[in-house]
Amino acid sequence: MVKELTFLIIGAGSRGSAYARAITTSTPARIAAVAEPDPYKRHVLGEKYIWGPGRSPKAGQEFEGWREWIEYEVDRRGRAGRDSGSDEGVDGLLICTLDETHVEILAGLAVAELLDLHVLCEKPLALSLDDCLSVYAARAKAAAESVFSIGHVLRYSPHNLLLRRLVRVDKVIGDIVSVEHTEPVGFWHFAHSYVRGNWRRETLQGDGSLLTKSCHDVDFLVWLVEEPIYSTCSSPVSKAPKSDPNGSERFQLKLRSIHSTGHLTQFTPSRKPLAAGSATNCTTCPIERECVYSAVRIYRDNQLRKGERGWPVKIVCPDIEDYLPSTSTSDTQKAEDRLLSALKEDYDDTTPDEEIAKRTWYGRCVYESDNNVCDDQVVTMSWDTVPTNPDNGPEARKKKGKPSGITATLHMTAPTEAQCVRRGRIYGTAGEITYDSQHISIFSFATRETTVIDVPKQPPEEEESHGGGDYGLARGFVNAVDMVVNRGWSVQRAQREFVGCELGDVIRSHAVVFAAEESRRGEMVVPWESWWKGKLASVGLRS
Protein backbone atom coordinates (compact mmCIF):
# COMPACT_ATOMS: atom_id res chain seq x y z
CA MET A 1 0.00 0.00 0.00
CA VAL A 2 1.13 3.55 -0.74
CA LYS A 3 1.60 5.56 2.42
CA GLU A 4 0.14 9.07 2.57
CA LEU A 5 3.04 11.37 3.35
CA THR A 6 2.62 13.81 6.22
CA PHE A 7 4.70 16.82 7.23
CA LEU A 8 5.17 19.19 10.14
CA ILE A 9 5.46 22.94 9.56
CA ILE A 10 7.81 24.68 12.03
CA GLY A 11 7.05 28.39 11.83
CA ALA A 12 3.59 29.55 10.72
CA GLY A 13 4.63 32.86 9.17
CA SER A 14 4.60 33.81 5.51
CA ARG A 15 7.07 31.13 4.38
CA GLY A 16 5.45 28.38 6.44
CA SER A 17 2.06 29.30 4.99
CA ALA A 18 3.49 29.41 1.45
CA TYR A 19 4.91 25.89 1.69
CA ALA A 20 1.80 24.58 3.43
CA ARG A 21 -0.30 25.92 0.55
CA ALA A 22 2.05 24.51 -2.09
CA ILE A 23 2.14 21.03 -0.56
CA THR A 24 -1.60 20.93 0.09
CA THR A 25 -2.69 22.12 -3.35
CA SER A 26 -0.09 20.56 -5.64
CA THR A 27 1.03 17.27 -4.05
CA PRO A 28 -0.74 14.22 -2.59
CA ALA A 29 0.97 14.85 0.76
CA ARG A 30 -0.68 16.40 3.81
CA ILE A 31 0.31 18.92 6.47
CA ALA A 32 -0.31 17.06 9.71
CA ALA A 33 1.04 19.38 12.41
CA VAL A 34 2.31 22.87 13.13
CA ALA A 35 4.80 24.18 15.69
CA GLU A 36 4.54 27.93 16.26
CA PRO A 37 4.81 30.01 19.46
CA ASP A 38 2.38 32.69 18.27
CA PRO A 39 -1.11 31.27 18.99
CA TYR A 40 -2.77 33.44 16.35
CA LYS A 41 -0.47 32.33 13.52
CA ARG A 42 -0.63 28.74 14.72
CA HIS A 43 -4.43 28.78 14.76
CA VAL A 44 -4.72 30.37 11.30
CA LEU A 45 -2.42 27.84 9.64
CA GLY A 46 -3.94 24.94 11.55
CA GLU A 47 -7.53 25.83 10.61
CA LYS A 48 -6.62 26.28 6.97
CA TYR A 49 -4.42 23.25 6.39
CA ILE A 50 -4.70 20.77 9.29
CA TRP A 51 -7.81 20.49 11.47
CA GLY A 52 -10.23 22.63 9.47
CA PRO A 53 -12.37 25.74 10.12
CA GLY A 54 -14.32 25.79 13.37
CA ARG A 55 -12.71 22.62 14.67
CA SER A 56 -10.27 22.03 17.50
CA PRO A 57 -6.85 20.45 17.00
CA LYS A 58 -6.32 16.86 18.03
CA ALA A 59 -3.35 15.56 19.99
CA GLY A 60 -0.18 15.79 17.95
CA GLN A 61 -1.46 18.46 15.57
CA GLU A 62 -0.22 21.66 17.22
CA PHE A 63 2.77 22.62 19.34
CA GLU A 64 3.90 25.87 20.92
CA GLY A 65 7.37 25.42 19.47
CA TRP A 66 9.79 22.96 17.94
CA ARG A 67 11.16 21.85 21.32
CA GLU A 68 7.69 20.79 22.46
CA TRP A 69 7.26 18.83 19.24
CA ILE A 70 10.64 17.08 19.67
CA GLU A 71 9.65 16.01 23.19
CA TYR A 72 6.36 14.71 21.81
CA GLU A 73 8.04 12.87 18.93
CA VAL A 74 10.65 11.20 21.13
CA ASP A 75 7.90 10.08 23.52
CA ARG A 76 5.70 8.96 20.61
CA ARG A 77 8.47 6.79 19.25
CA GLY A 78 8.94 5.24 22.66
CA ARG A 79 5.24 4.48 22.87
CA ALA A 80 5.21 3.13 19.29
CA GLY A 81 7.83 0.61 20.28
CA ARG A 82 5.56 -0.66 23.08
CA ASP A 83 2.11 -0.16 21.54
CA SER A 84 1.27 -1.25 18.00
CA GLY A 85 -1.77 1.02 18.09
CA SER A 86 0.24 4.16 18.73
CA ASP A 87 -0.33 7.09 16.37
CA GLU A 88 2.04 7.57 13.45
CA GLY A 89 4.42 10.47 13.32
CA VAL A 90 5.23 12.72 10.39
CA ASP A 91 7.52 11.70 7.55
CA GLY A 92 9.33 15.00 7.49
CA LEU A 93 9.31 18.64 8.45
CA LEU A 94 9.69 22.09 6.95
CA ILE A 95 11.74 24.64 8.90
CA CYS A 96 10.23 28.05 8.18
CA THR A 97 11.34 30.04 11.22
CA LEU A 98 13.58 33.10 11.38
CA ASP A 99 17.03 32.62 9.88
CA GLU A 100 18.94 32.58 13.16
CA THR A 101 16.92 29.60 14.50
CA HIS A 102 17.58 27.11 11.68
CA VAL A 103 20.83 25.72 13.06
CA GLU A 104 19.40 25.34 16.56
CA ILE A 105 16.47 23.32 15.24
CA LEU A 106 18.67 21.11 13.07
CA ALA A 107 21.00 20.54 16.03
CA GLY A 108 17.98 19.63 18.16
CA LEU A 109 16.98 16.96 15.62
CA ALA A 110 20.48 15.48 15.77
CA VAL A 111 20.61 15.43 19.57
CA ALA A 112 17.17 13.76 19.70
CA GLU A 113 18.29 11.21 17.10
CA LEU A 114 15.58 12.24 14.65
CA LEU A 115 17.87 12.42 11.62
CA ASP A 116 15.73 9.89 9.76
CA LEU A 117 13.11 12.61 9.19
CA HIS A 118 13.20 14.31 5.81
CA VAL A 119 13.84 18.06 6.00
CA LEU A 120 13.15 21.12 3.87
CA CYS A 121 14.80 24.18 5.43
CA GLU A 122 14.07 27.73 4.34
CA LYS A 123 17.09 29.71 3.12
CA PRO A 124 19.57 30.70 4.32
CA LEU A 125 20.64 27.55 6.10
CA ALA A 126 22.57 29.53 8.73
CA LEU A 127 23.98 32.99 9.42
CA SER A 128 27.63 31.94 9.51
CA LEU A 129 29.81 29.57 7.54
CA ASP A 130 30.86 27.78 10.74
CA ASP A 131 27.22 26.99 11.47
CA CYS A 132 26.67 25.77 7.89
CA LEU A 133 29.65 23.45 8.25
CA SER A 134 28.40 22.21 11.62
CA VAL A 135 25.10 21.25 9.97
CA TYR A 136 27.02 19.48 7.20
CA ALA A 137 29.08 17.50 9.71
CA ALA A 138 26.02 16.55 11.78
CA ARG A 139 23.89 15.53 8.82
CA ALA A 140 26.59 13.73 6.85
CA LYS A 141 25.70 10.55 8.71
CA ALA A 142 22.03 11.01 7.84
CA ALA A 143 22.65 11.54 4.13
CA ALA A 144 21.88 7.90 3.39
CA GLU A 145 18.56 7.84 5.25
CA SER A 146 16.81 11.20 4.81
CA VAL A 147 16.20 13.75 2.07
CA PHE A 148 17.42 17.29 2.71
CA SER A 149 16.31 20.32 0.71
CA ILE A 150 16.92 24.06 1.01
CA GLY A 151 14.69 26.97 0.02
CA HIS A 152 16.73 27.97 -3.04
CA VAL A 153 13.51 28.40 -4.99
CA LEU A 154 15.12 29.92 -8.11
CA ARG A 155 16.31 26.43 -9.08
CA TYR A 156 12.74 25.20 -9.35
CA SER A 157 10.80 27.81 -11.33
CA PRO A 158 9.71 26.65 -14.82
CA HIS A 159 11.42 29.73 -16.31
CA ASN A 160 14.82 28.96 -14.82
CA LEU A 161 14.62 25.24 -15.53
CA LEU A 162 13.93 26.04 -19.17
CA LEU A 163 16.72 28.64 -19.26
CA ARG A 164 19.23 26.16 -17.87
CA ARG A 165 18.23 23.44 -20.32
CA LEU A 166 18.60 25.84 -23.24
CA VAL A 167 22.06 26.88 -22.08
CA ARG A 168 23.53 23.72 -20.64
CA VAL A 169 21.76 20.86 -22.46
CA ASP A 170 20.66 22.25 -25.83
CA LYS A 171 23.60 24.69 -25.93
CA VAL A 172 21.67 27.18 -28.04
CA ILE A 173 24.44 29.77 -27.56
CA GLY A 174 27.36 27.37 -27.57
CA ASP A 175 29.55 27.40 -24.49
CA ILE A 176 29.04 30.02 -21.78
CA VAL A 177 31.51 32.90 -21.83
CA SER A 178 29.97 35.14 -19.16
CA VAL A 179 26.74 35.88 -17.29
CA GLU A 180 25.25 39.15 -16.02
CA HIS A 181 22.43 38.68 -13.49
CA THR A 182 20.50 41.42 -11.68
CA GLU A 183 18.27 41.14 -8.62
CA PRO A 184 16.17 44.36 -8.53
CA VAL A 185 14.85 44.27 -4.98
CA GLY A 186 12.40 47.17 -5.35
CA PHE A 187 12.60 50.51 -3.56
CA TRP A 188 9.81 50.00 -1.03
CA HIS A 189 10.37 46.24 -0.69
CA PHE A 190 13.94 46.89 0.44
CA ALA A 191 12.69 49.49 2.93
CA HIS A 192 10.14 47.00 4.24
CA SER A 193 12.47 44.03 4.77
CA TYR A 194 15.99 45.44 5.05
CA VAL A 195 15.54 48.85 6.66
CA ARG A 196 12.51 48.37 8.91
CA GLY A 197 12.16 44.59 8.94
CA ASN A 198 13.81 41.46 10.30
CA TRP A 199 16.84 41.51 8.00
CA ARG A 200 18.11 45.08 8.53
CA ARG A 201 21.21 44.30 10.59
CA GLU A 202 24.27 42.34 9.55
CA THR A 203 26.26 40.27 12.01
CA LEU A 204 29.96 39.81 12.58
CA GLN A 205 29.65 36.25 11.25
CA GLY A 206 28.85 37.49 7.72
CA ASP A 207 25.07 37.86 7.68
CA GLY A 208 24.03 40.74 5.43
CA SER A 209 21.52 41.48 2.69
CA LEU A 210 23.50 39.35 0.21
CA LEU A 211 22.88 36.28 2.37
CA THR A 212 19.32 37.00 3.45
CA LYS A 213 18.04 38.38 0.15
CA SER A 214 20.28 37.10 -2.61
CA CYS A 215 21.87 33.84 -1.46
CA HIS A 216 19.56 32.07 -3.90
CA ASP A 217 20.75 34.39 -6.68
CA VAL A 218 24.34 33.35 -5.95
CA ASP A 219 23.10 29.76 -5.87
CA PHE A 220 21.29 30.31 -9.17
CA LEU A 221 24.53 31.39 -10.87
CA VAL A 222 26.53 28.47 -9.47
CA TRP A 223 23.72 26.10 -10.50
CA LEU A 224 23.38 27.68 -13.96
CA VAL A 225 27.09 27.65 -14.75
CA GLU A 226 28.75 24.67 -13.10
CA GLU A 227 26.61 22.20 -11.17
CA PRO A 228 26.05 18.77 -12.75
CA ILE A 229 22.81 18.22 -14.64
CA TYR A 230 21.19 15.08 -13.27
CA SER A 231 18.20 15.25 -15.63
CA THR A 232 19.02 15.58 -19.35
CA CYS A 233 15.57 16.21 -20.80
CA SER A 234 15.69 18.77 -23.62
CA SER A 235 13.86 22.09 -23.67
CA PRO A 236 10.74 22.38 -25.87
CA VAL A 237 12.27 25.05 -28.16
CA SER A 238 15.73 24.74 -29.66
CA LYS A 239 16.39 26.00 -33.19
CA ALA A 240 20.11 26.65 -32.91
CA PRO A 241 22.50 23.74 -33.50
CA LYS A 242 24.14 22.21 -30.48
CA SER A 243 27.87 22.73 -30.20
CA ASP A 244 28.02 19.24 -28.76
CA PRO A 245 25.49 16.83 -30.35
CA ASN A 246 25.40 14.71 -27.22
CA GLY A 247 24.75 17.63 -24.90
CA SER A 248 27.74 16.69 -22.76
CA GLU A 249 30.09 19.22 -21.19
CA ARG A 250 33.38 19.72 -23.02
CA PHE A 251 34.94 21.51 -20.07
CA GLN A 252 35.31 20.96 -16.37
CA LEU A 253 34.95 24.14 -14.35
CA LYS A 254 37.01 25.08 -11.32
CA LEU A 255 35.85 28.05 -9.30
CA ARG A 256 38.89 30.31 -9.14
CA SER A 257 38.03 33.57 -7.36
CA ILE A 258 35.27 35.65 -5.80
CA HIS A 259 35.18 39.40 -5.46
CA SER A 260 32.48 41.71 -4.11
CA THR A 261 31.92 45.36 -3.42
CA GLY A 262 28.85 47.00 -1.91
CA HIS A 263 27.54 49.95 0.05
CA LEU A 264 24.74 51.24 2.21
CA THR A 265 24.08 54.21 -0.04
CA GLN A 266 20.58 55.52 0.51
CA PHE A 267 19.08 54.71 3.90
CA THR A 268 21.34 56.78 6.15
CA PRO A 269 20.79 59.87 8.34
CA SER A 270 22.76 62.04 5.90
CA ARG A 271 20.08 61.41 3.25
CA LYS A 272 17.18 62.49 5.46
CA PRO A 273 15.29 65.48 3.98
CA LEU A 274 15.86 68.61 6.07
CA ALA A 275 12.13 69.34 6.08
CA ALA A 276 11.53 66.11 8.03
CA GLY A 277 13.17 67.71 11.05
CA SER A 278 13.51 65.51 14.11
CA ALA A 279 10.66 63.14 13.21
CA THR A 280 11.56 59.48 13.57
CA ASN A 281 8.17 57.99 12.64
CA CYS A 282 6.11 58.39 9.49
CA THR A 283 2.88 59.00 11.41
CA THR A 284 4.31 62.21 12.93
CA CYS A 285 6.52 63.39 10.06
CA PRO A 286 5.65 66.83 8.59
CA ILE A 287 6.50 65.69 5.05
CA GLU A 288 4.99 62.22 5.24
CA ARG A 289 2.68 62.92 2.27
CA GLU A 290 5.66 63.81 0.10
CA CYS A 291 7.98 60.93 1.02
CA VAL A 292 8.10 57.89 -1.27
CA TYR A 293 9.05 55.77 1.76
CA SER A 294 6.07 56.86 3.84
CA ALA A 295 4.88 53.77 5.72
CA VAL A 296 1.36 55.17 5.70
CA ARG A 297 1.48 55.43 1.92
CA ILE A 298 3.11 52.02 1.43
CA TYR A 299 0.90 49.95 3.73
CA ARG A 300 -2.39 51.86 3.95
CA ASP A 301 -2.77 53.84 0.73
CA ASN A 302 -1.11 51.48 -1.74
CA GLN A 303 -2.05 48.18 -0.11
CA LEU A 304 -4.94 48.06 2.36
CA ARG A 305 -7.09 50.70 0.61
CA LYS A 306 -6.63 48.86 -2.67
CA GLY A 307 -7.85 45.59 -1.22
CA GLU A 308 -4.44 44.03 -0.61
CA ARG A 309 -4.61 42.24 2.72
CA GLY A 310 -1.80 39.70 2.44
CA TRP A 311 1.91 40.47 2.27
CA PRO A 312 3.15 43.03 3.35
CA VAL A 313 0.10 44.25 5.33
CA LYS A 314 -0.17 40.93 7.12
CA ILE A 315 3.50 41.15 8.09
CA VAL A 316 2.87 44.50 9.80
CA CYS A 317 -0.42 43.28 11.36
CA PRO A 318 -0.72 39.47 11.41
CA ASP A 319 -4.23 39.84 12.85
CA ILE A 320 -5.48 42.33 10.23
CA GLU A 321 -8.24 39.92 9.10
CA ASP A 322 -9.88 40.25 12.52
CA TYR A 323 -10.43 43.96 11.88
CA LEU A 324 -11.77 43.68 8.35
CA PRO A 325 -15.51 43.63 7.67
CA SER A 326 -17.03 40.17 7.38
CA THR A 327 -19.27 41.33 4.52
CA SER A 328 -18.43 42.92 1.19
CA THR A 329 -18.71 46.43 2.62
CA SER A 330 -15.86 48.76 1.75
CA ASP A 331 -15.68 50.16 5.29
CA THR A 332 -12.17 49.25 6.43
CA GLN A 333 -11.80 51.96 9.09
CA LYS A 334 -11.22 49.49 11.93
CA ALA A 335 -8.52 47.75 9.93
CA GLU A 336 -6.91 51.09 9.06
CA ASP A 337 -6.94 52.12 12.71
CA ARG A 338 -5.29 48.82 13.65
CA LEU A 339 -2.66 49.26 10.95
CA LEU A 340 -1.86 52.84 12.01
CA SER A 341 -1.56 51.78 15.64
CA ALA A 342 1.14 49.31 14.59
CA LEU A 343 2.92 51.92 12.48
CA LYS A 344 2.97 54.39 15.38
CA GLU A 345 5.13 52.07 17.47
CA ASP A 346 8.58 53.64 17.83
CA TYR A 347 11.65 53.91 20.04
CA ASP A 348 13.88 56.70 21.27
CA ASP A 349 17.35 57.26 22.70
CA THR A 350 16.37 55.67 26.01
CA THR A 351 15.30 52.35 24.46
CA PRO A 352 17.91 49.60 25.04
CA ASP A 353 19.52 48.44 21.81
CA GLU A 354 18.64 44.82 22.50
CA GLU A 355 14.97 45.83 22.60
CA ILE A 356 15.30 47.70 19.31
CA ALA A 357 17.11 44.85 17.60
CA LYS A 358 14.76 42.01 18.50
CA ARG A 359 11.67 43.28 16.69
CA THR A 360 10.48 45.15 13.60
CA TRP A 361 9.57 48.85 13.30
CA TYR A 362 7.52 49.31 10.15
CA GLY A 363 6.56 52.92 10.84
CA ARG A 364 10.11 54.06 11.53
CA CYS A 365 11.71 56.71 9.30
CA VAL A 366 13.98 54.92 6.83
CA TYR A 367 16.68 57.56 7.41
CA GLU A 368 16.54 57.12 11.21
CA SER A 369 16.53 53.32 11.38
CA ASP A 370 19.14 50.99 12.88
CA ASN A 371 19.83 49.27 9.56
CA ASN A 372 23.36 48.65 8.28
CA VAL A 373 23.08 46.13 5.41
CA CYS A 374 24.08 46.99 1.85
CA ASP A 375 21.41 48.39 -0.43
CA ASP A 376 23.64 47.94 -3.51
CA GLN A 377 26.15 45.14 -4.01
CA VAL A 378 28.01 43.46 -6.87
CA VAL A 379 29.55 39.98 -6.76
CA THR A 380 31.95 38.65 -9.41
CA MET A 381 32.73 34.94 -9.70
CA SER A 382 35.41 33.53 -11.99
CA TRP A 383 35.91 29.95 -13.14
CA ASP A 384 38.81 28.29 -14.91
CA THR A 385 37.72 26.05 -17.79
CA VAL A 386 39.68 22.84 -18.10
CA PRO A 387 39.08 20.78 -21.30
CA THR A 388 37.80 17.30 -20.52
CA ASN A 389 40.11 16.00 -23.28
CA PRO A 390 43.18 18.28 -23.14
CA ASP A 391 45.28 16.00 -25.37
CA ASN A 392 43.01 16.26 -28.40
CA GLY A 393 45.71 16.53 -31.06
CA PRO A 394 49.13 18.21 -31.28
CA GLU A 395 47.74 21.71 -31.84
CA ALA A 396 45.70 21.52 -28.64
CA ARG A 397 48.79 20.41 -26.74
CA LYS A 398 50.78 23.37 -28.05
CA LYS A 399 48.11 25.80 -26.84
CA LYS A 400 47.47 24.03 -23.54
CA GLY A 401 49.03 26.89 -21.60
CA LYS A 402 46.47 29.44 -22.79
CA PRO A 403 44.14 30.40 -19.93
CA SER A 404 40.40 30.09 -20.44
CA GLY A 405 37.55 30.91 -18.10
CA ILE A 406 33.99 32.04 -17.37
CA THR A 407 32.84 35.08 -15.40
CA ALA A 408 29.47 35.66 -13.74
CA THR A 409 28.28 38.81 -11.98
CA LEU A 410 25.38 39.41 -9.63
CA HIS A 411 24.08 42.92 -9.03
CA MET A 412 21.71 43.21 -6.07
CA THR A 413 20.24 46.71 -5.89
CA ALA A 414 17.43 48.37 -3.93
CA PRO A 415 16.30 51.51 -5.84
CA THR A 416 14.31 49.85 -8.61
CA GLU A 417 10.75 49.93 -9.88
CA ALA A 418 10.81 46.18 -10.50
CA GLN A 419 10.39 44.09 -7.39
CA CYS A 420 12.39 40.86 -7.46
CA VAL A 421 11.80 40.52 -11.21
CA ARG A 422 15.19 39.13 -12.04
CA ARG A 423 16.78 39.85 -15.37
CA GLY A 424 20.06 39.02 -17.08
CA ARG A 425 22.14 38.24 -20.12
CA ILE A 426 24.22 35.19 -20.95
CA TYR A 427 27.00 35.50 -23.52
CA GLY A 428 28.09 32.39 -25.41
CA THR A 429 30.43 31.30 -28.15
CA ALA A 430 27.54 30.92 -30.62
CA GLY A 431 25.07 33.59 -29.47
CA GLU A 432 23.58 35.36 -26.49
CA ILE A 433 20.49 35.10 -24.34
CA THR A 434 18.59 37.84 -22.52
CA TYR A 435 16.01 36.91 -19.92
CA ASP A 436 13.57 38.30 -17.40
CA SER A 437 10.90 36.57 -15.36
CA GLN A 438 8.57 36.14 -18.36
CA HIS A 439 10.66 35.87 -21.51
CA ILE A 440 13.83 34.36 -22.90
CA SER A 441 15.34 35.87 -26.05
CA ILE A 442 18.01 33.99 -28.04
CA PHE A 443 20.21 35.63 -30.67
CA SER A 444 22.21 33.32 -32.96
CA PHE A 445 25.51 34.52 -34.40
CA ALA A 446 25.16 32.02 -37.26
CA THR A 447 21.70 33.05 -38.48
CA ARG A 448 21.62 36.57 -36.98
CA GLU A 449 18.06 35.81 -35.98
CA THR A 450 16.36 36.30 -32.64
CA THR A 451 14.02 33.72 -31.13
CA VAL A 452 11.76 34.91 -28.32
CA ILE A 453 10.34 32.29 -25.99
CA ASP A 454 7.34 33.11 -23.84
CA VAL A 455 7.58 30.94 -20.78
CA PRO A 456 4.31 29.01 -20.28
CA LYS A 457 1.99 30.72 -17.83
CA GLN A 458 1.59 29.19 -14.40
CA PRO A 459 -1.61 29.32 -12.33
CA PRO A 460 -1.77 32.75 -10.62
CA GLU A 461 -1.11 31.39 -7.13
CA GLU A 462 2.01 29.61 -8.41
CA GLU A 463 3.25 32.53 -10.52
CA GLU A 464 3.08 34.81 -7.48
CA SER A 465 5.24 32.37 -5.50
CA HIS A 466 8.70 33.11 -6.92
CA GLY A 467 7.54 32.40 -10.48
CA GLY A 468 6.41 28.92 -9.49
CA GLY A 469 9.64 28.22 -7.59
CA ASP A 470 7.89 27.62 -4.26
CA TYR A 471 5.63 25.03 -5.84
CA GLY A 472 8.44 23.43 -7.83
CA LEU A 473 10.56 23.12 -4.70
CA ALA A 474 7.67 21.67 -2.68
CA ARG A 475 6.80 19.14 -5.38
CA GLY A 476 10.42 18.11 -5.81
CA PHE A 477 10.87 17.59 -2.08
CA VAL A 478 7.64 15.62 -1.69
CA ASN A 479 8.41 13.50 -4.77
CA ALA A 480 11.86 12.68 -3.42
CA VAL A 481 10.41 11.62 -0.07
CA ASP A 482 7.71 9.58 -1.83
CA MET A 483 10.30 7.72 -3.87
CA VAL A 484 12.20 6.81 -0.71
CA VAL A 485 9.18 5.93 1.45
CA ASN A 486 6.90 4.30 -1.12
CA ARG A 487 9.09 3.24 -4.04
CA GLY A 488 12.19 1.91 -2.34
CA TRP A 489 14.61 4.35 -3.96
CA SER A 490 17.87 5.20 -2.28
CA VAL A 491 17.98 8.65 -0.71
CA GLN A 492 20.89 9.63 -2.93
CA ARG A 493 19.04 8.74 -6.12
CA ALA A 494 15.83 10.50 -5.05
CA GLN A 495 17.80 13.53 -3.84
CA ARG A 496 19.55 13.96 -7.17
CA GLU A 497 16.55 13.22 -9.36
CA PHE A 498 13.92 15.36 -7.63
CA VAL A 499 15.75 17.83 -5.36
CA GLY A 500 18.50 18.30 -7.93
CA CYS A 501 21.36 18.80 -5.49
CA GLU A 502 22.92 17.30 -2.40
CA LEU A 503 23.69 18.77 1.00
CA GLY A 504 27.30 19.34 -0.04
CA ASP A 505 26.09 21.52 -2.94
CA VAL A 506 23.96 23.55 -0.52
CA ILE A 507 26.89 24.14 1.83
CA ARG A 508 29.23 25.12 -1.00
CA SER A 509 26.69 27.54 -2.43
CA HIS A 510 26.35 29.23 0.96
CA ALA A 511 30.13 29.32 1.27
CA VAL A 512 30.37 31.36 -1.93
CA VAL A 513 28.14 33.98 -0.28
CA PHE A 514 30.33 34.13 2.83
CA ALA A 515 33.44 34.37 0.64
CA ALA A 516 31.84 37.33 -1.16
CA GLU A 517 31.15 39.02 2.16
CA GLU A 518 34.74 38.47 3.27
CA SER A 519 35.81 40.03 -0.01
CA ARG A 520 33.56 43.06 0.45
CA ARG A 521 34.57 43.68 4.03
CA GLY A 522 38.26 43.07 3.46
CA GLU A 523 38.40 44.79 0.06
CA MET A 524 40.16 41.81 -1.48
CA VAL A 525 39.81 39.01 -4.01
CA VAL A 526 39.16 35.62 -2.40
CA PRO A 527 41.11 32.75 -4.02
CA TRP A 528 38.46 30.06 -3.81
CA GLU A 529 40.40 26.79 -3.69
CA SER A 530 42.80 27.70 -0.90
CA TRP A 531 40.13 29.64 1.00
CA TRP A 532 37.66 26.74 0.87
CA LYS A 533 40.22 24.12 1.85
CA GLY A 534 41.21 26.27 4.82
CA LYS A 535 37.61 26.67 5.98
CA LEU A 536 36.95 22.94 5.77
CA ALA A 537 40.20 22.07 7.52
CA SER A 538 39.37 24.45 10.38
CA VAL A 539 36.42 22.23 11.34
CA GLY A 540 38.07 18.92 10.50
CA LEU A 541 36.44 18.37 7.10
CA ARG A 542 37.90 17.67 3.67
CA SER A 543 36.90 19.07 0.29
pLDDT of 242 over the 50 cut: no
Tell me, what's the pLDDT at 238?
Answer: 35
Task: Assign domain 155-266+373-466 to its CATH architecture.
Answer: 2-Layer Sandwich (3.30)
The DSSP secondary structure of 468-503, one letter per residue, reads GHHHHHHHHHHHHHHHHHHS---HHHHIIIII-S-H
**Where do the structural domains in the chain lie, given as residue ranges?**
6-152+469-503, 155-266+373-466, 269-357
What topology does CATH give the domain 6-152+469-503?
Rossmann fold (3.40.50)
Give the pLDDT confidence of 306-344 residue by residue, as tens digits: 999 889 999 999 999 889 887 666 678 999 999 999 999
Give the pLDDT confidence of 62-81 residue by residue, as tens digits: 999 999 999 999 999 988 76
With a CB cutoff of 8 Å and minimum separation 6, the contacts of 517 are 206, 208, 210, 211, 260
Tell me, what's the pLDDT at 245?
Answer: 37
Give the pLDDT confidence of 31-41 residue by residue, as tens digits: 999 999 999 99
75-97: b (≥16 Cβ within 10 Å) or e: ebeeeeeeeeeeeebbbbbbbbb
With a CB cutoff of 8 Å and minimum separation 6, the contacts of 385 are 251, 252, 253, 404, 405, 406
Tell me, what's the pLDDT at 243?
Answer: 40
Tell me, what's the pLDDT at 393?
Answer: 52
Average pLDDT, the chain: 90
Stretch among 169-178, 207-216, 421-430 having the lowest mean pLDDT = 207-216
